[in-house]
Amino acid sequence: MTFSIVGRSGGELGVAVASKFLAAGALVPAVDAGAGALASQAFSNQSYRPDGLALLREGRSADETVATLTGADELREHRQLGVVALSGPGANFTGEKCLQWAGGCAGDGYAIQGNILAGQEVVAEMERAWLAGGAQPLARRLLAALVAGDSAGGDRRGRQSAALVVASPGAGYGRYDIAADLRVDDHAAPVGELRRLLELHEFYFGRPDLSSAVTLEGSVLKEVRGLLTSVGYPPAGGGAGGEAVEVALAEWASMENLEMRYAGGGLLDKLVLDFLRRRSAESA
């Protein structure tokens, strides 16, 4: 089963995977923002995930981690593994008894691998997309590689699940390390659904761009006051002043799960303002 990519870019580490297998995201990826990332697949050895991260935390390279894990495994010829450390090239392993087509490739900061694939072109197209996407955030870069593999035929049995995990120190919700952890467990088009989930994730959990934010004053303040009233969050006491609008706005944003986008104050992300406008139109 399965095609995956393990990658490192811009201080982030992550894994993207797709398979004709239920909930592959529950079994394949493992990521530690301070150590590295890996994908364990084919006849997946679940001990590879904690043990591999432990080796990476010790400072082992990707090659050393692959060699240590597979070398101690009597069933290694049925396994497939991809690993990336905090620095250096990625590494992978494909056992001789993995179902065909099976194989992979690796380079600086990435490892791509798959089994029961439509052909070698799946891995080749994933690598091409990865190398072309260096300017993108890691989640987008991993997804692009997954889309390319899926378009090239992916798992030759069909489609069922897909997942994406990205970690970076302090980059996630509440400043924890997991920046994204998205899974499609059973879907006719899991990679496309994963793209939709990533777009939602970027909206809800992305950091506001304060350089292009609007200021809550003048006509904008008046508009926001009216919009909040229309969606059921009128500023206290009629709310003529900016402070009352900010309080009401923060309450509304929290109810809409937008606390990462609006943390209070007089600056408002344009995406949040547009979302408030849509909610007001829906309630009309």
Domain ranges of the chain: 3-205, 210-283
The predicted structure's pLDDT at residue 175? 85
> For the chain, what is the mean pLDDT?
94
Q: Considering only CA atoms, which of 217, 250, 220 is closest in space to residue 235?
A: 250
Going across the sheet that includes 178-184, the strands are 103-107, 110-114, 3-9, 12-19, 161-167, 178-184
Residue 157 pLDDT > 70, yes or no?
yes
Would you state the pLDDT for residue 99? 96
Alpha-carbon distance of 80 to 4, in angstroms, equals: 10
Residue 283 has pLDDT above 90, yes or no: no
Residue 241 has pLDDT above 90, yes or no: no
Tell me the whole-structure pTM to 2 decimals. 0.91
Q: Is 3-205 a domain of CATH 3.30.70.60?
A: no
- Answer yes or no: are the C-beta atoms of 102 and 80 closer than 8 Å: yes
Strand 79-85, strand 36-42: pairing: antiparallel
Digit-coded pLDDT (tens) for 48-71: 999 999 999 999 999 999 999 999
pLDDT at site 238 = 61
- pLDDT for 239 equals 54
- 153: three-class secondary structure by DSSP: coil
How does pLDDT run across 175-203, given as a tens digit for each residue? 899 999 999 999 999 999 999 999 999 99
- Helix or strand (DSSP H, E) at 150: helix 138-151
Q: Tell me: the pLDDT tens digits for 94-151?
A: 999 999 999 999 999 999 999 999 999 999 999 999 999 989 999 999 999 999 999 9
How crowded is residue 214: how many other Cβ atoms within 10 Å of its Cβ? Answer: 17
DSSP letters for 156-185? TT---EEEEEEE-TT-SGGG-SEEEEEEE-
